[in-house]
Amino acid sequence: MLRPTYEKLVEELEQLKNVERAAIAKAIDEARALGDLKENAEYHAAKEKQGHIEARIIELTDLTGRAQVIDPATLAHDRVSFGSTVVLVDHDTDEEVSYTLVGSQESDPSRGYISMQSPMARALIGKEEGDEVELQLPGGKKSFDIEEIKYVEIDVG
């Protein structure tokens, strides 16, 4: 993953551990003080929120612990790799489309950021400018020429 994404996840993890945990523990104590727990909606809502917070802490701890932080600016982009922006030309329509290969945490297809684990990215990995690639898209198979491979810094915010 990219360094800004990693730092954002670490920041969220610290917020959950150091602020949210304490706040939810206080909310549970206050709800307990209201009386009968069986019919105490505040208590049950707080316990449910606590479960979500703890699950997210586990998820973030795992993600940040296994993260491989890569600076794509240091990679050669003569072949499609992590962080490459690939300009493709559709064989049928001559339309240009552009995709940037990113980690699963940065993936946002609406912005042209596709996960390295996606079938499309896997089909593009290792290809060079001028190569032809056939991609399985939701509308069926399409053929493209790789027009350009470049590095463009992306905004993961």
The string of pLDDT tens digits covering residues 33-51 is: 877 777 788 888 899 999 9
Same fold, 3-66 and 72-151: no
Percentage of the chain beyond pLDDT 70 is 99
**pLDDT value at residue 138:** 79
In order of 32, 107, 108, 120, 154, the CA distances from 114 in angstroms are: 46, 5, 6, 8, 12
Burial class (CB in 10 A: 0-12, 13-18, 19+), 144: buried
Mean pLDDT over 54-59 rounds to 96
* Sheet arrangement for strand 84-90: 113-115, 96-102, 84-90, 140-151, 132-137
Structure tokens given for 71: 């600076």
pTM metric for this prediction: 0.74
Tens digit of pLDDT for each residue in 57-112? 999 999 999 998 888 888 888 999 999 999 999 998 999 999 999 998 889 988 99
**pLDDT value at residue 49:** 94
The rounded Cα 17 to chain-centroid distance in angstroms is: 21
Question: In the CATH scheme, what is the code of domain 3-66?
Answer: 1.10.287.180
User: Residue ranges of the domains in the chain?
Assistant: 3-66, 72-151
Phi and psi at residue 153, in whole multiples of 5°?
-65, 135
CATH architecture assignment, domain 72-151: Roll (3.10)
